[in-house]
Amino acid sequence: MRRPSARLLVALGAILTLASGALLAVADDTRVGSGGPYGFLTGFYFLCLAPGVLLLVATLLLYFRDQNEAALAGFLGVGGAMASVPLAFAGFWVGFALALAGSFLVLLEPHPKPIVGSSGKGNAQSSSTALRRRGSPRWAAPVATVLVSLVAILLLCPQTITADLTSVVDLVNDPVAYDLQAAYVVGTGGSSISWEVGASPQSTNCQLGYSYLVNAYVNDSGQVYWYQVGLAFDWGGGSISSSGWGMSYEAFGPDGNSIFPTLYSGAGVADFSGPIDPGDPVVLSLSLGGSSVSFTASDLTTYASAAESYPRAGSEEFGGAMPSQNPGYFTGLLSECYRSISSGGALANVTYQNQGASQAQGGVLVDEIDFSGGRFPYLPSVELAEEHSSWTTLVGTSTFQAYGLLLQYSGNTFVTGSD
């Protein structure tokens, strides 16, 4: 090697890629539902190490074998770097960048001179000269390898790449670090759930939108599906673009993955048919038909509305509280706000009014997800908030305080605001 820096870049890339792959593998965090970059590897988490292993082999060849194997090491390095593209999209981009740059430098270096005393010196020299005279570009093969690898990766995991890239764009657009959530879990379900909520602006306290959500699940023969409909502001927009008010909607499958509107890519946002003014009462509803679940939102003042539907199997009604099969799913309400600091600023009061039968039992939960370490909610470096509020049994009208929020709730109302 004429340039030690090239193999050093490959070595550093190998170390970082191995480390990031190991974090994912140990955390079992390759699933799309958790935002993992290797969604197609569910159940085979150890394969997250494959890109780093290829780069490690390339590093060993560069440091401990003769110079004639530099080309092989370079191509292994390119292959390992490209295999780590999902990691790069998920935020672990430094190892990918170093490995790819170092591998290209290895391949673009002049052909190595044969070792003194080895046979075929003249032939090797003349062969190298002939290649240069014919104008054979040394960069053509590695560039072709990059393109072929990229196509293969996109074919293997198109949805995970899209989801990871979307999250990166959101980060660049709105570099928030905390997701504040206040949930009211109701005790009963039924075939329809409907709540009215005011279109309350949150000013600058939620840098990445905010959303007021109605949630419900169905237990279909042991398979639990979860549905959400919400009134959201700048959901996926923010400082660069502003989408304004919209109806957010999403369905999740039994394994925790988002399955609607598109696989893995998160909530959809439907435009309203007319304006939504601040303070307007908006009714959010989830209802089960013969073969579908309906998501609807209607402004009672301007009569603007939005609706979506999703085909479903089975005839079960919405369940109450939390299902034992998937404790992350529940039937009830959720206010969500992404912000840049943990406890900054007061939040405007948001009031939900039940449009159906009174709830006889339920509970509340307040949590703040802290992803300031990894900047993305799905990276292994995520640290959940140190405190998680306990369930509070609903008895008449009650209050609950946590993370700067004051919750007031009864069988027919749920109010969130600053304590």
Three-state DSSP class for 142? helix
Do the Cβ atoms of 92 and 167 come closer than 8 Å?
no
Residues 9-34 as b or e (16 or more Cβ within 10 Å = b)? bbbbbbbbbbebbbbbbebebbbbbb
**pLDDT given for residue 246 in this prediction:** 92
- Segment among 24-28, 71-75, 200-204 with least mean pLDDT: 24-28
* Of the candidate ranges 55-64, 234-243, 245-254, the one whose mean pLDDT is the lowest: 234-243
Checking if the pLDDT of 282 tops 80, the result is yes
Banded pLDDT at 307 (limits 50, 70, 90): very high
Question: Can you tell me the mean pLDDT for 239-246?
Answer: 67
Mean pLDDT of 73-77: 89
Query: What's the pLDDT score for residue 264?
Result: 54
pLDDT recorded at residue 92:
77
pLDDT digits (tens, 9 = 90+) for 139-171: 777 788 788 888 877 777 666 666 566 655 655
Whether the predicted pLDDT of 133 surpasses 50: no
Does residue 132 carry a pLDDT above 50?
Answer: no
Query: pLDDT at residue 134 above 60?
Result: no
What residue has token string 């799913």? 329
- Written as one string, the DSSP assignment of 27-44 is TT---GGGT-S-GGGTT-
Instruction: Report the pLDDT averaged over residues 363-369.
Output: 84
Q: Mean pLDDT across the chain, nearest whole number? A: 78
Give the bridge partners for 245, in sequence order: 233
Q: Is the pLDDT of residue 401 over 80?
A: yes
Of 117-126, 268-277, 350-359, the range with the lowest mean pLDDT is: 117-126
pLDDT tens profile 79-111: 899 888 877 876 678 899 999 999 988 888 765
Which residues touch 320 (CB under 8 Å, ≥6 apart)?
A: 186, 187, 188, 189, 331
pLDDT above 70: residue 413: yes
Write down the pLDDT at residue 131.
39
Quote the pLDDT of residue 221: 81
pLDDT (mean) for 216-243: 79
Beta carbons within 10 angstroms of residue 161's beta carbon: 21
Higher pLDDT, 11 or 380: 11
Backbone angles phi, psi at 112, to 5 degrees: -70, 145
CA separation for the pair 300, 282 (Å, rounded): 6
Angle at 115 between CA 112 and CA 117, to 5 degrees: 150
Q: Please give the pLDDT value at position 371.
A: 67
pLDDT at 300 over 50: yes
- Once rounded to an integer, what is the mean pLDDT over residues 356-367? 80
Residues 6+ apart with CB under 8 A from 373: 379, 381, 382, 383
User: What pLDDT sits at residue 231?
Assistant: 96
Q: Is 416 exposed, middle or buried (0-12, 13-18, 19+ CB in 10 A)?
A: buried
- Res 344: pLDDT: 60
Asked if the model's pLDDT at residue 374 lies above 70, the reply is no
pLDDT at 287: 94
Decide: helix, strand or coil at residue 417: strand
